[in-house]
Amino acid sequence: MKSGPRPEFLKNQVAYYLLAPGNSGANGEWKYAENFETLVAHPKTFYLDSKNGDANGVFRSGSLIEKQPTEGPDTFIYDPLDTTRGETVDGLDPKEKTAGIDQTYALSIGKDGLVYHTEPLPNETPFIGCPAVTLWVSIDTPDVDLSANLYEIQPDGTNIALWSDTRRLRYRESLREEKLVKPGETVRCDFNPGLFVARRLMKGSRLRLVISSPNSIQVQKNYCSGGVVAEETAKDAHTCHVQVYHDATHPSTIQFPLR
């Protein structure tokens, strides 16, 4: 600065803070990289899988595996008029001490969502990069909103929110041009917001992926009619049955930046 020496903090093009393992992430360390592209390159691909098409809940979840599965699909139901989840389940104030570590949402998942887990990590593992999810889905309405949420579940059951993204399926190919879905058509939906995550995952932790449709007062509600969402009301509501495929032709995946 002002012709002075370069600060030690700026010794490379990229500086990031790697959170330590555990609940708080305290006692982490600053790390450096020559460029961002190299830092986030070469993530590991895990495939969504389940037994007998059953992944509707934390305690009956599907799996995230490195071998491509051959079966599927899994199904969940989105009913825009179902208010049983409620504000207290679906949306915690970010100022709350439990925000980011609360499991209420995932534990409440039943027929209205899908849950997938990895096997426990054999070692403490750096997680550095930008997760991304690809889903192959079919629906029986012209449109629906889909969300993907990723968590670290530590050996003692502590839940750490790592990453999330939401997509409106009519904008699956372009954020500027909508394309409604034909009932029964199998389409690809990518969740790739470029959100950077850097923390050390604890030995014995599992990664949990939750797939669902947002149904909360916290976000705009999609009534699945295919009309202008901002103008839709409850009288336009359609219940949507969402099928998520994970077979050889339509492999739904998640990219984990495990190092």
Q: What is the mean pLDDT of each run of 10 residues along the chain (259 residues)?
A: 75 92 85 94 96 90 93 93 69 56 81 97 97 98 98 94 96 95 94 95 97 89 96 96 96 96
Q: Which of 119, 127, 129 is nearest to 258 (CA)?
A: 127
Residue with tokens 């460029």: 35
Q: Please list the alpha-helical segments (H only) found in 31-175.
A: 36-39, 86-90, 104-108
Tell me, what's the pLDDT at 70?
80
> Which CATH code is given to the segment(s) 43-256?
2.60.120.260
Tell me, what's the pLDDT at 23?
79
Residue with tokens 């509600």: 221
Tell me, what's the pLDDT at 102?
72
Joined together, the tokens standing for residue 183 give 């009932």
For the chain, the distance separating the N- and C-terminal CA atoms, rounded to the nearest angstrom, is: 34
Tell me, what's the pLDDT at 86?
63
* Residue 100 CA from chain centroid, whole number: 14
Helices and strands: H and E segment counts in the chain? 3, 15
Distance from C-alpha of 114 to C-alpha of 246, rounded to nearest angstrom: 13
C-beta of residue 210 within 8 angstroms of C-beta of residue 148 = yes
Distance from C-alpha of 169 to C-alpha of 160, rounded to nearest angstrom: 27
Going from N- to C-terminal start, the domains of the chain cover 43-256
Distance from C-alpha of 217 to C-alpha of 233, rounded to nearest angstrom: 14
Alpha-carbon distance values, 252 to 88, 98, 119, 122, 162 (Å):
31, 31, 18, 24, 20
